[in-house]
Amino acid sequence: MTDAVHPLLIEGLQKAGFECDYHPAIQTDSVLEVIHQYVGLIINSKILVDKYLLDKGQALKFIARLGSGMEIVDRSYAKQKGIHVFSSPEGNRNAVAEHAMGMLLALSNKLLVADNEVRQFEWNREKNRGFELQGKTIGIIGFGNTGSTLAKKLTAWEVNVLAYDKYISNFTGQMKHVTETSMIDIFEQSDIISLHLPLNEETAHLVNKAFINKFHKPIVLINTSRGKIVNTVDLLEGLDNKKIVGVCLDVFENEKPHTFSEKEKTMYQQLYHYDNVVLSPHIAGWTKESKEKLAATLLNKILSVA
């Protein structure tokens, strides 16, 4: 286990007969030195499970990811080698959906700006007049675990929810307030967009200048999925020309500030300058409850093949 996990996972595996080595501070080089000894590898996001690691792990039977992002695992090669690969989006989907709602409400009510001003003894009511969600159209792109959970959260908010997913259909089920639709309708009708997509060749920089310019109205953009889905330079242009009137970002193209190039520093400083932007450090799925849920989800999946 290469990252922090809830004790439930360790205890459950031990009861099932596994010997568990817990090294949450371990780095890739050290993993490569010892991986040949292990039948299972449990990761979060820092360990890249590529062909080299998979070949080193001659005894591996499973790879388990705490969370949903699977771009760090070469799943096709793992399958060739007969290694089971598990993710656990069921464990943090509620946390991500709640975080997306929290960011949107903070943005729409100018809470961060107002909070900072009050702490500075400023009292600016008219300047901080916000907007209501009631009657707005929210486009959800990607209707898997987190997209569908966000849609459920929106049930009582009297909004119009449009949902698009390229790979599934007839997915709205009992959610009568959600309309399954096309990207054309989302471009035409949406006031707010929320992204719930994996990162792959298809989605990398999906949100670019051309994408932004297809919207018929100025939009609010929420991204709690993967940072590289959004082209930050084009996002800044959208903010400048008012094609984008608000942004909520929990994820970024580069999430390691100490590695920023001078160009990246300038780019992110521009982003931080906007008061209609709400930011958080990739913590949407990072709650006390989700830590336990992720552990329980992976435990069940691992034991189903162990």
181's tokens: 């639709």
**Is residue 273 flagged as an active site residue?**
no
Containing structural domain, residue 37: 7-87
- Do residues 53 and 147 both lie within one domain? no
pLDDT computed for residue 176 by the predictor: 87
CATH number of the domain encompassing residue 138: 3.40.50.720
Helices (H) and strands (E) in the chain, counts: 12, 10
Per-residue pLDDT of the chain (306 residues; tens, 9 = 90+): 999 999 999 999 999 999 999 999 999 999 999 999 999 999 998 999 999 999 999 999 999 999 998 999 999 999 999 999 999 999 999 999 999 999 999 999 999 999 999 999 999 999 999 999 999 999 999 999 999 999 999 999 999 999 999 999 999 888 889 999 999 999 999 999 999 999 999 999 999 999 999 999 999 999 999 999 999 999 999 999 999 999 999 999 999 999 999 999 999 999 999 999 999 999 999 999 999 999 999 999 999 998
**Phi, psi for residue 279 in degrees, rounded to 5:** -130, 145
Please indicate, yes or no, whether residues 13 and 144 belong to a single structural domain of this protein.
Answer: no
Q: Active-site residue among 11, 33, 202, 255? A: 255
Residue 252 is predicted with a pLDDT of 98
- Residue 13 sits in the same domain as residue 110: no
| Residue 78 sits in the same domain as residue 97 | no
255 is catalytic: yes
Contact 224, 146 (CB under 8 A): yes
Choosing from 87, 122, 141, the residue where a domain stops is 87
Point out the catalytic residue in the list 6, 65, 93, 226: 226
Which pTM value belongs to this model? 0.95
> Do 114 and 45 sit in the same domain of this protein?
no
118 and 253 in a single domain? The answer is yes
Q: Judge whether 25 lies within some domain.
A: yes
Domain total in the chain: 2
How far, in Å, CA of 48 to CA of 40, rounded? 15
The active-site residue, picked from 75, 177, 205, 282, is 282
- Residue 295 in domain: no
